[in-house]
Amino acid sequence: MLHWIDWLMLLVPLLAIVWIGWRTQRYMRGVADFLAAGRVADRYLVSVASGEAALGLITVIALVEMYYKSGYAVGFWWQLSAPITLLMTLTGFVVYRFRETRAMTLAQFFEMRYSRRFRIFAGMLTYLSGVLNYAIFPAVGGRFLLYYCRFPETFPFLGFEVSTFSFLMAAFLGVALLIVLRGGQVTTMVTDCAQGIYGYFAYAAIVAAILGVFSMGHFREVMMSRGPGLSFVDPFDTAKMTDFNILFVLIGIFSSVYSRMAWQGAQAYNCSAASPHEQKMGAVLGTWRGGFTTLMILFLALAGYTCMNHPDFAPQAQAIQKELVERVQMGDEASTAAVRNQMLVPIAMRHILPVGVTGVFLALMIFLMVSTDTTYLHSWGSIFVQDVVLPVRKHAMTPELQIRWLRWSIAGVAIFAWWFSYWFSQTTYILMFMALTATIYLGGAGACIIGGLYWKRGTTAGAWAAMLFGAGAGIASFLLTTFWQSGVYPWLSAQAPSVLAGLKTGLEGLSARLPFCHWIVGPDKCPISGQELYFLTMLGSLTLYVVVSLLTSRESFNIDRMLHRGAYARDPGVGGQTAPARARGWKVLLGITPEYTKGDRILAWSVFLYTLLQFGLFVFVAVTNLFYRWPGEYFYLYWKYVTVVQSLLVGFISTIWFTWGGVRGLWRLFDNLDKLQRDKLDDGRVAGHVSLDDVALVEKVEHTLIPEAHPVSPHAGKSAADGQDKPA
pLDDT at residue 725, as a whole number: 41
| 359-363, 444-448, 594-598, 706-710: range with lowest mean pLDDT | 706-710
**Cβ atoms of residues 34 and 403 within 8 Å:** yes
CB hemisphere CA count around 385 (13 angstroms): 27
3-state SS of the chain: helix, strand, coil percent to 5? Answer: 75, 0, 25
Give every CB contact of residue 398 below 8 A, 6+ residues apart in sequence: none
* 323: exposed, middle or buried (Cβ count in 10 Å: 0-12, 13-18, 19+): middle
**Cβ atoms of residues 234 and 630 within 8 Å:** yes
pLDDT at residue 240, as a whole number: 65
| 168-177, 242-251, 395-404: range with lowest mean pLDDT | 242-251
Query: What is the 3-class SS of 346-398, one letter each residue?
Result: HHHHHHHCCCCHHHHHHHHHHHHHHHHHHHHHHHHHHHHHHHHHHHHCCCCCC
CA-nearest of 578, 583, 575, 556 to 565 is 578
pLDDT band at 551 (very low <50, low <70, confident <90, very high): very high
pLDDT at residue 421, as a whole number: 86
Give every CB contact of residue 172 below 8 A, 6+ residues apart in sequence: 138, 141, 142, 145, 366, 369, 370, 373
* 406: exposed, middle or buried (Cβ count in 10 Å: 0-12, 13-18, 19+): buried
Backbone φ, ψ for residue 290 (5° rounding): -110, 25
pLDDT digits (tens, 9 = 90+) for 229-246: 778 888 887 766 655 566
DSSP state of 641: I
Most confident of the ranges 214-223, 344-353, 455-464, 527-536: 455-464
Mean pLDDT score, 502-517: 73
pLDDT band at 724 (very low <50, low <70, confident <90, very high): very low
Cα distance between residue 192 and residue 274, in whole Å? 18
Beta carbons within 10 angstroms of residue 61's beta carbon: 25
Chain centroid offset of residue 91 CA = 21
pLDDT band at 712 (very low <50, low <70, confident <90, very high): very low
pLDDT band at 515 (very low <50, low <70, confident <90, very high): low
At 196, which helix (H) or strand (E)?
helix 185-213
pLDDT digits (tens, 9 = 90+) for 612-621: 998 999 999 9
Percent of the chain with pLDDT over 90: 50
pLDDT at residue 580, as a whole number: 56
Mean pLDDT score, 8-30: 92
**Cβ atoms of residues 176 and 374 within 8 Å:** yes
**Model confidence at 728: pLDDT above 50:** no
| 21-35, 470-484, 624-638, 712-726: range with lowest mean pLDDT | 712-726
* 499: exposed, middle or buried (Cβ count in 10 Å: 0-12, 13-18, 19+): exposed
Beta carbons within 10 angstroms of residue 719's beta carbon: 12
Residue 244, SS3 per DSSP:
coil
pLDDT band at 516 (very low <50, low <70, confident <90, very high): low
Between 640 and 573, residue with greater pLDDT: 640
**Model confidence at 79: pLDDT above 90:** no
Cα distance between residue 111 and residue 467, in whole Å? 14
Backbone φ, ψ for residue 522 (5° rounding): -150, 180
Chain centroid offset of residue 491 CA = 36
CA-nearest of 645, 692, 631, 728 to 399 is 728
Homologous superfamily (CATH) for 4-81+95-580+630-676: Sodium/glucose cotransporter (1.20.1730.10)
pLDDT band at 714 (very low <50, low <70, confident <90, very high): very low
**Model confidence at 72: pLDDT above 70:** yes
pLDDT at residue 581, as a whole number: 57
**Cβ atoms of residues 99 and 261 within 8 Å:** no
- What residues does each domain of the chain span? 4-81+95-580+630-676
DSSP state of 581: -
pLDDT at residue 723, as a whole number: 40
pLDDT digits (tens, 9 = 90+) for 344-378: 888 999 999 999 999 999 999 999 999 999 999 99
| 50-59, 105-114, 210-219, 455-464: range with lowest mean pLDDT | 50-59
pLDDT digits (tens, 9 = 90+) for 273-302: 999 999 999 999 988 877 788 889 989 999
| 192-201, 422-431, 542-551, 609-618: range with lowest mean pLDDT | 422-431
pLDDT at residue 329, as a whole number: 59
Between 572 and 142, residue with greater pLDDT: 142
pLDDT band at 586 (very low <50, low <70, confident <90, very high): low
pLDDT digits (tens, 9 = 90+) for 163-194: 999 999 999 999 999 999 989 999 999 999 99
Residue 162, SS3 per DSSP:
strand
